[in-house]
């Protein structure tokens, strides 16, 4: 029998919801590229429930305990004597989400002598030391594409929120004011602006598709250029590098993976090359931006706004400067954990576990590391031996 340790974010401050705003969520059978949505043999939850918190348990307890396995669910993952570290010693599987990641360092992987599988409930496995997983023959998997569209929708919301100055305008209502001049003094139309995406993978392309009806000029940069018919359909201008693209854009959205080449990509130099008053959106990974350079750019007016859904570390400490910098629209990494997305990545997590427990192959598109090497989606997205810094 196996021991599964699941690290999830805390319950709502008022307790687990007894009811929800909606009775259901739409069922999605597949994604735009033809990949099917998660297909577990069954689920023990109602789609639309809060599954990503401790009490939600990703809907896994009945399934695992009915088979005689042990499930430990905790949000305690930081201190050296955390529940995660205590339970790791004899754990066979570790599950966590990008929004509340269990940082699976080399030390933790080597401490967990029974560890065979690390699952990201969602997408993005950069919180796992993939080299250590490779060397210790630990399989790493994630629920690819499960919340990509969720993130793309969040990006569009953030762009409009910054450009139209929505958050300060709403604050005037909360403060019982009617200060129209104050509310619109930083408000512009998105129409006719130049908007660029750093990377045009699943999320980046979904963002570009959703922005096309706004009448903007669309740009992108990626190591893998899109087919010419896609560029023509969306009216895209291709740039070989982010350094080429950033100076021509009014809005830049970051949708690339974190690796050594992208770590601190948006530093003082690149930010300084952008148009004065440009907007920057980052739902990819916090370390793609230089933390203090972002603050300086906002304080000087070089950036008109920064909206990010990702921080480093996560959760961000109370004194993180991005909490208090001017003209920001930060969220606590919620873009990919809507209740709709949770139904998909919880189902995908169960699908991966069903395959692993029954000794059946895990979908190739879910695999990051297998058999001591990068595999599946991991072979496309990551490079063995490439690690980012600790800060």
The pLDDT tens digits for 19-33 are: 999 999 999 999 999
The pLDDT tens digits for 72-91 are: 999 999 988 999 999 999 99
Q: How far is 318 from 120, CA to CA, in rounded Å?
A: 26
Q: Which of 108, 314, 327, 350 is catalytic?
A: 314
Residue 16 DSSP SS3: coil
Q: How far is 52 from 11, CA to CA, in rounded Å?
A: 9
Q: Which residues, at least 6 apart from 365, have a Cβ–Cβ distance to it below 8 Å?
A: 35, 144, 145, 376, 377
285 catalytic, yes or no? Answer: yes
Tokens 């990703």, residue located:
58
320 catalytic, yes or no? Answer: no
**What is the distance between the terminal CA atoms of the chain, rounded to a whole angstrom?**
38
One pLDDT digit (tens) per residue for the chain, 391 residues: 999 999 999 999 999 999 999 999 999 999 999 999 999 999 999 999 999 999 999 999 999 999 999 999 999 999 889 999 999 999 999 999 999 999 999 999 999 999 999 999 999 998 999 999 999 999 999 999 999 999 999 999 999 999 999 999 999 999 999 999 999 999 999 999 999 999 999 999 999 999 999 999 999 999 999 999 999 999 999 999 999 999 999 999 999 988 889 999 999 999 999 999 999 999 999 999 999 999 999 999 999 999 999 999 888 999 999 999 999 999 999 999 999 999 999 999 999 999 999 999 999 999 999 999 999 989 987 777 666 554 3
What does the angle CA 338 – CA 200 – CA 315 come to, to the nearest 5 degrees? 40
Domains of the chain in sequence order: 3-146+337-376 (3.40.50.720), 148-323 (3.40.50.720)
Find, among 336, 378, 334, 286, the residue nearest to 149 by Cα. Answer: 336
Q: What is the DSSP track for 80-143?
A: TT-HHHHHHTT-SEEEEBTTB---B-HHHHHH-TT--EEEESSS--TTB-HHHHHHTT-EEEE-
Return the structure tokens found at 284: 């990819």
Return the structure tokens found at 56: 């939600």
147 catalytic, yes or no? Answer: yes
Find, among 61, 126, 137, 67, the residue nearest to 96 by Cα. Answer: 126
Q: Which of 69, 108, 127, 147 is catalytic?
A: 147
Q: How does strand 139-142 pair with strand 367-370?
A: antiparallel
pTM above 0.85, yes or no: yes
Q: Which of 219, 285, 344, 350 is catalytic?
A: 285
Q: How far is 215 from 228, CA to CA, in rounded Å?
A: 20
Tokens 């050594």, residue located:
260
Q: Which of 108, 239, 333, 344 is catalytic?
A: 333
């Amino acid at each position: 029998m196996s021991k599964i340790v699941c690290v999830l974010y805390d319950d709502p401050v008022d307790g687990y919801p007894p009811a929800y705003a909606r009775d259901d969520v739409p069922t999605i059978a597949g994604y735009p590229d033809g990949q099917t949505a998660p297909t577990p043999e069954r689920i023990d939850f109602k789609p639309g429930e809060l599954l990503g918190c401790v009490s939600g348990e990703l809907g896994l307890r009945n399934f695992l305990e009915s088979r005689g396995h042990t499930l430990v669910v905790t949000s305690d993952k930081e201190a050296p004597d955390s529940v995660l570290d205590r339970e790791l010693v004899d754990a066979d599987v570790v599950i966590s989400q990008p929004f509340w990641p269990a940082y699976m360092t080399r030390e933790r992987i080597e401490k967990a002598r029974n560890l065979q599988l690390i699952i990201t409930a969602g997408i993005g496995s950069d919180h796992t030391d993939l080299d250590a997983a490779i060397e210790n023959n630990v399989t790493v998997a994630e629920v690819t594409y499960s919340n990509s569209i969720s993130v793309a929708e969040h990006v569009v919301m953030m762009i409009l929120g910054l450009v139209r100055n929505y958050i300060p305008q709403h604050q005037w209502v909360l403060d019982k004011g009617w200060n129209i001049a104050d509310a619109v003094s930083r408000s512009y139309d998105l129409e006719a602006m130049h908007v660029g995406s750093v990377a045009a993978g699943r999320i980046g392309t979904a963002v570009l598709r959703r922005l096309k009806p706004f009448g903007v000029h669309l740009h992108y940069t990626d190591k893998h250029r899109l087919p010419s018919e896609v560029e023509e359909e969306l009216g895209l201008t291709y740039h070989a590098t982010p350094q080429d693209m950033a100076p021509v854009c009014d809005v830049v959205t970051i949708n690339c993976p974190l690796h050594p080449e992208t770590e601190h990509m948006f530093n003082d130099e690149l930010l300084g090359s952008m148009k004065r008053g440009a907007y920057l959106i980052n739902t990819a990974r916090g370390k793609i931006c230089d933390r203090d350079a972002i603050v300086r750019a906002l304080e000087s007016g070089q950036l008109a706004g920064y909206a990010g859904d990702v921080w480093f570390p996560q959760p961000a400490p109370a004194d993180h400067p991005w909490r208090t910098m001017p003209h920001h629209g930060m969220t606590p990494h919620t873009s990919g954990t809507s209740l709709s997305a949770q139904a998909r990545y919880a189902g995908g997590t169960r699908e991966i576990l069903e395959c692993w427990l029954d000794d059946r192959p895990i979908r190739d598109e879910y695999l990051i590391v297998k058999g001591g090497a990068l595999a599946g989606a991991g072979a496309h997205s990551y490079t063995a031996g490439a690690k980012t810094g600790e800060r």
